[in-house]
């Protein structure tokens, strides 16, 4: 097998393409021949030792894959050799073969390409959990998405529209704004890459202008940093502020704003929710497969790379140049 390994903390350029012995299937696992691996922002953090979980080195990044089952481990039921599956691996996905926990694998529909499957569960799972379980987004409400052109942001646009919300997509360029309009955003707002106090005030005013006099019911914040406070200031009475990610840094929030607006700041830790609430995750996956079959959601893959170019693919994400999803193809 081949794997793109992180052998020391560092950026994408530190990854090494390595030949390894083919693995044996483990108890409770599926041995999967990987056909596609989706990239996610945590992959860029994990190789720098900046993520919540630090796998022992050497390890391959890559938290979600899709492929064909080659072997079924002891204690596993419901799967057979030849099944087409997607799986959450945490890490290890940037490889031609991976042992995936059977409990974190799902059979995929015959009509779903491997590339779509590898770019499906992390982004749509996160955003569906955020909007449905944590925000309880309702039809007719207004949803603001910061970082709307990224993987989870694009998924949130589609899921917000499927839920009947008005969606405002906030991004850093006109190119990204057009991407968001193309996938269903009702309104777009471009924010600067560097934020000072005047820029924060302008951003908050721009959000309020698009949202209307009542403000934003739900903020989906996949950016953090200095962008958080302007969005919080634009919340409606009893608005919900979803904390999703921090590529711009961990923000400092003046909590008096939550008192004045009767609002909630709600954490979104999808991975922990999957582990703690497997029945809820199963229901959400059923929702997502139904929406996919109906054509209401579809991974927006903007770039494809072979395994040997995984460093280039991760750099695209790290520099926040990616729109939608980036995928490694391993056929």
Residue 102's domain is classified under what CATH number?
A: 3.90.180.10
* Token digits of residue 142: 């207004």
* Structure confidence at residue 321 (pLDDT): 81
Co-location of 307 and 259 in the same domain: no
* Structure confidence at residue 266 (pLDDT): 98
Which parts of the chain are beta strand (E)? 2-6, 15-19, 29-38, 64-72, 84-88, 97-101, 105-107, 142-146, 166-171, 187-190, 216-221, 235-243, 264-267, 301-306, 325-329
Q: Beta strands 325-329 and 301-306: pairing type?
A: parallel
Indicate whether 320 pLDDT > 80: no
Domain containing 15 equals: 2-120+299-329
CATH number, domain containing residue 179: 3.40.50.720
* Structure confidence at residue 23 (pLDDT): 95
* Structure confidence at residue 323 (pLDDT): 84
Co-location of 116 and 127 in the same domain: no
Mean pLDDT over the full length of the chain: 95
Per residue in 76-110, pLDDT (tens digit) is 999 999 999 999 999 999 999 999 999 999 999 99
Query: Which is nearest to 106 in space by CA: 93, 92, 120?
Result: 120
Co-location of 222 and 112 in the same domain: no
* Structure confidence at residue 193 (pLDDT): 87
Co-location of 266 and 323 in the same domain: no
Per residue in 256-277, pLDDT (tens digit) is 999 999 999 999 999 899 889 9
Which sign, positive or negative, has the C-alpha torsion 129, 134, 140, 141? Answer: negative
Q: What is the 3-state secondary structure (H, E, C) of 37-87?
A: EECCHHHHHHCCCCCCCCCCCCECCCCEEEEEEEEECCCCCCCCCCCEEEE
* Structure confidence at residue 63 (pLDDT): 94
* pLDDT band, very low/low/confident/very high, at 53 (cuts 50, 70, 90): confident
Co-location of 141 and 226 in the same domain: yes
Number of domains in the chain: 2
Per residue in 182-229, pLDDT (tens digit) is 999 999 999 998 899 999 999 999 999 999 989 999 999 999 999 999
Question: CA 103, 107, 112, 113: dihedral to nearest 10 degrees?
Answer: 70
Co-location of 141 and 267 in the same domain: yes
Per residue in 64-82, pLDDT (tens digit) is 999 999 999 999 999 999 9
Place of tokens 């925000």: 135
* Structure confidence at residue 198 (pLDDT): 94
Co-location of 15 and 83 in the same domain: yes
Indicate whether 317 pLDDT > 90: no
* Structure confidence at residue 130 (pLDDT): 98
First and final C-alpha spacing in the chain: 13
* Token digits of residue 88: 């959450």
Q: pTM for the complete prediction?
A: 0.89
Query: Which is nearest to 160 in space by CA: 190, 214, 188, 124?
Result: 124
């Amino acid at each position: 097998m081949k794997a793109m390994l992180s052998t020391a903390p560092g950026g994408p350029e530190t990854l090494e393409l390595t030949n390894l012995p083919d693995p044996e299937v483990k108890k409770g696992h599926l041995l999967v021949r990987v056909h596609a691996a989706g990239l996610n922002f945590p992959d860029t953090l994990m190789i720098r030792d900046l993520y919540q979980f630090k796998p022992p080195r050497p390890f391959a990044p890559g938290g979600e894959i899709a492929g064909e089952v080659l072997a079924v481990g002891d204690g596993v039921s419901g799967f057979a050799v030849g099944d087409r599956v997607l799986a959450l691996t945490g890490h290890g996905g940037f490889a031609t073969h991976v042992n995936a926990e059977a409990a974190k694998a799902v059979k995929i529909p015959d009509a779903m390409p491997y590339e779509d499957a590898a770019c499906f569960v992390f982004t749509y799972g996160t955003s569906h959990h955020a909007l449905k379980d944590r925000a309880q987004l309702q039809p007719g409400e207004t949803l603001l998405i910061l970082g709307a052109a990224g993987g989870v942001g694009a998924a949130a646009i589609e899921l917000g529209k499927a839920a009947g919300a008005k969606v405002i997509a906030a991004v850093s360029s006109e190119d990204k704004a057009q991407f968001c309009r193309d996938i269903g955003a009702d309104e777009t707002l471009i924010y600067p890459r560097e934020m000072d106090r005047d820029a924060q005030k302008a951003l908050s005013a721009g959000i309020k202008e698009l949202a209307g006099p009542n403000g934003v019911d739900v903020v989906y914040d996949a950016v953090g940093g200095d962008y958080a406070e302007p969005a919080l200031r634009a919340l409606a009475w009893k608005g919900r502020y979803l904390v999703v990610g921090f590529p711009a840094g961990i923000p400092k929030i003046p909590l008096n704003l939550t008192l004045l607006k009767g609002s909630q700041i709600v954490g979104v830790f999808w991975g922990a929710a999957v582990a703690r609430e497997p029945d809820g995750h199963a229901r959400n996956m059923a929702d997502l497969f139904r929406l996919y079959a109906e054509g209401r959601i579809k991974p927006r893959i903007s770039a494809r790379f072979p395994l040997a170019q995984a460093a280039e693919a991760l750099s695209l994400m790290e520099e926040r140049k990616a729109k939608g999803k980036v995928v490694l193809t391993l056929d």
